[in-house]
Amino acid sequence: MRVGRDRMEPAADKTESGDRGAVEQRADAVEGCPPVVPRSEWGARPPRLSESMQVPAALAVIHHTAMPPGHTHPACCVQLRNIQRLHMDERGWNDIGYNFLIGPDGTVYEGRGWGVEGAHTRMFNNKALGIALMGCFTDSAPSLEALSSARRLLHCGVSLGYLLPAFTLKGHRDLGSTQCPGDKLHSSIRQWASYRP
């Protein structure tokens, strides 16, 4: 098992894990920011390595997990641990790949969190925020609650200074050879003002 950088992208400086709690508390205090379920609540393992990304980021990338989402909070927590296990144990990444994940009821879960380099979009990990909606959206549409939370989270990123006000939004497929985030989710985000093909 390799310990060190994620295989997908080189990055910048290490992030102090103690800073995460302060950032999440600040996010909760900003008007319009959705509440975020911290890593400790869903049972996340500690990352092997945590590195800072370039902020404010000019890019946000939307993904789907392409896995069953779980329709209750406990089921989502189980699925988050499964995703983290897949990313760390099978793919050899340092942590769960996304900065945030969103359940079907609109609950936002902390992945790597604000300002931390992800492992979600090759060549863009150190300069893009990665948000994954939990589920597979090839044939079925994401819930309005999940879409609303994604938009609020993007707004929050701007308010907190982690995203540029004129950031560009893309789906994962816009930046690589993949079907992610699924046809239905991709169709939804194409309607958002910040989306650019």
- What is the residue-averaged pLDDT of the chain? 88
Where in the chain are the domains?
A: 19-189
Cβ 125 vs Cβ 119: under 8 Å:
yes
- What pLDDT is stored for residue 14 in this prediction? 39
User: Is the model more confident about 13 or about 61?
Assistant: 61
Report the half-sphere exposure of 74 (CA within 13 A, side-chain side): 0
Q: What's the whole-number mean pLDDT along residues 22-43?
A: 77
Taking the CA atoms of residue 156, residue 162, residue 167 and residue 170 in that order, the dihedral angle to the nearest 10 degrees is: -80
Domain 19-189, CATH: 3.40.80.10
Furthest-apart CA pair in the chain: how many Å? 42
Cβ 190 vs Cβ 196: under 8 Å:
no
pLDDT reading at 17 higher than 70: no
Query: Residues 136-153: pLDDT tens digits?
Result: 999 999 999 999 999 999
CA–CA distance, 131 with 153 (Å, rounded to integer): 9
CA–CA distance, 128 with 21 (Å, rounded to integer): 21
pLDDT reading at 19 higher than 90: no
Q: What's the whole-number mean pLDDT along residues 79-107?
A: 97
Per-residue pLDDT band at 16 (split at 50, 70, 90): very low
- What pLDDT is stored for residue 43 in this prediction? 97
CA–CA distance, 178 with 22 (Å, rounded to integer): 35
Report the half-sphere exposure of 113 (CA within 13 A, side-chain side): 24
- What pLDDT is stored for residue 166 in this prediction? 97
pLDDT reading at 194 higher than 70: yes
- Sequence-ordered alpha helix ranges (H) in 112-143: none
CB atoms within 10 A of CB 5: 16
Per-residue pLDDT band at 28 (split at 50, 70, 90): low
pLDDT reading at 2 higher than 90: no
Which residue's entry shows tokens 């709690």?
21
Structure tokens at 68: 């069953």
